[in-house]
Amino acid sequence: MRSIAILFLASSALFAAPVPKEKAEKTDAEAILGMWDIESPGYEGVKWEFLSATRSQIHNPGSTTPGQVVYALDSKQNPKHFDWSFPPEKDNIPEKIAPVQFPSIYELKGDTLKVTFGRDGTRPTKFGEGQTTILRRVKK
């Protein structure tokens, strides 16, 4: 009788409903995608749209063409690294001139993105060094 009960319990476990897996948390590269409002003084109405893991655009209210920006995230660093630049445009900048680089640090928490970049082209080691820009995700 005891072996029948054990056999019944073992077979029940085989046919039990599968336990749903927890939804994996998004990586920073996934979470940053979309449109963000820049909330820093002097940038009223400016939006930063992250299109892919390396491409983004800055939308200025007074411009019909968004500015192209390339970027790279490194979430394994502490603080996390955010490197961005305006790529050379064939009409405006000779291709032999290197684009201006902005080595930065970032913090991404929910719908808030904080980016700090050094004033002299060096990467800050902590928030509060350099210029900080706050962005908030645009709600659909």
Query: What ranges do the domains of the chain cover?
Result: 27-137
DSSP 8-state symbol, 8: H
Of 87, 82, 76, nearest in space to 118 by CA: 82
Predicted TM-score of the model (pTM):
0.74
Can you tell me the distance from the alpha carbon of 60 to that of 67, in angstroms, rounded to the nearest whole number? 8
CATH class of 27-137: mainly beta
Could you report the per-residue pLDDT of 65-105, keeping only the tens digit for each?
Answer: 898 899 999 999 999 999 998 877 655 545 555 567 889 99
